[in-house]
Amino acid sequence: MLYHLLVPLSEYISGFNLFRYITFRTACATVTAMLISFLLGRMFIRFLKRNQVQEKIRSDGPKTHLLKEGTPTMGGVLILVAIVIPTLLWADLTNRFIHLILLSTVWMGLVGLMDDYLKAVKKQRKGMVARKKFAGQVLLGLLLGGILYLYPPAANFNASTELPFFKDYYLAFGLLYIPFVILVVTGSSNAVNLTDGLDGLAIGLVGICAMAFAAICYITGRVDFSGYLMVTYFEGAGELTVYCGALLGAALGFLWFNSHPAQVFMGDTGALSLGAALGTLAILTKKEVLLVIVGGVFVLEALSVILQVLSFKLTGKRILKMAPLHHHFELLGWKEPQVVIRFWVVGIIFALLTLSTFKIR
């Protein structure tokens, strides 16, 4: 919005040329998102408390978590506002990449909001029926995959994924591309949701991923950088960097209130939308394989649940003290802040490894 208002003024005042630069607008989006979070955060938390929109803690989890009973939830609404408004203000709203990333974010945010509403407001312990939540994820993947397959956002965007470590090597899917998109969106949204079990854990990792994807999107949208690093170039994809800036700012702003001891939880509204956003960023930049590395902690958390269930069904024994993985370390005696910070460190390492792959071709 501001981009379209301010850029034309550069014909009269040269200083407005700044708004042509993606890097400057990304910084503006980050700061705007943080300001929105800080300015609205306390007010929104008071609103949630006043209306008793509170988290119900599972009784079979770590006993230390019982103290979190009654903490306001549905904070993902604040995250969504802090992402969407700066993106609308600072991004090029004619850009199709921006349309698609906002579609994914808002869609899964609404699915999560319905689940949170049933659990926290209607006091239905299980919330939305699992198959309905899954249907929402699949429908988003189907819609996103269909749009990308039939109406690609760039002339050279096709039904394939780029393989890291190899120059100009792609895995083509053909009609299987749509199921592949469904898998990525569903997997990423569920992985972030499973990780959101400790104060600040998921949102901190999302912020780390946002920084990595900001670099990836910027490179993908620059013909010179992508050519030098021998990765796919998509005209217009650089605009996603502005979205990543808003995502980072929203993550930092929410972390202010979600750090231990948390004043608010993001709920499924935040976890599902953020997971879908990361998956969609990977899809739009053809970095779906790298998503497994940059989101390595999310992958490990999801795998821990899958392996725990399989092990118990096949052998009657559990391989972890408790799943997801962060609870296992809690039961080993790690304090909650220790688990969170150490997982962040691992997340930073994964992000750096991801960016280093751009030089390994």
pLDDT in tens, the chain (361 residues): 787 787 777 778 877 788 889 999 999 999 999 999 999 999 999 999 999 888 877 666 676 777 788 899 999 999 999 999 999 999 999 999 999 999 999 999 999 999 999 998 888 877 888 899 999 999 999 999 999 999 999 999 999 999 988 777 889 999 899 999 999 999 999 999 999 999 999 999 999 999 999 999 999 999 999 999 999 999 999 999 999 999 999 999 999 999 999 999 999 999 999 999 999 999 999 999 999 999 999 999 999 999 999 999 989 889 999 999 999 999 999 999 999 999 999 999 999 999 999 988 7
Tokens of 5: 């208002």
Q: Within a domain: residue 195?
A: yes
Count of structural domains within the chain: 1
Cβ atoms of 162 and 286 closer than 8 Å = yes
| Three-class SS state of 52 | coil
Q: Helix, strand, or coil here: 54?
A: strand
Preceding omega of 62 cis (within 30 degrees of 0):
no
| Cβ-proximal residues to 86 (8 Å cutoff; 6+ apart), any chain | 28, 29, 30, 32, 33, 36, 245, 246, 249, 250
In a domain, 6, yes or no: no
| Residues 55/68, Cβ–Cβ less than 8 Å | yes
Whole-angstrom distance, CA of residue 278 vs CA of residue 92: 20
- Name the strand (E) or helix (H) holding 193: helix 177-195
Instruction: For tokens 């509204």, name the residue.
Output: 269
pLDDT of residue 126: 79
Residue 171's φ and ψ, nearest 5 degrees, are -105, 110
Beta bridge partners of 78: none
Name the residue range of residue 236's domain. 21-359
Cα separation, 357 vs 350, in Å, equals 11
Q: What is the model's pLDDT at position 59?
A: 65
pLDDT of residue 4: 79
Residue in 231, 350, 205 with CA at minimum distance from that of residue 292: 350
* Residue 164 resides in a domain: yes
Question: Could you tell me if 316 and 259 are in contact, meaning their C-beta atoms sit under 8 angstroms apart?
Answer: no
Q: In this structure, is residue 192 part of a structural domain?
A: yes
Does 4 reside within a domain? no
Cβ-contact 87, 102 below 8 angstroms? yes
Q: Which residue has the tokens 């990836």?
A: 216
Asked whether residue 224 is assigned to any structural domain, the reply reads: yes
Q: Whole-prediction pTM value?
A: 0.96
Whether the Cβ atoms of residue 274 and residue 77 lie closer than 8 Å to each other: no
- As a whole number of angstroms, the distance between CA 246 and CA 85 comes to 9
The answer to whether residue 12 is domain-embedded is no
Within-domain flag for 72: yes
Residue-level pLDDT at 12: 81
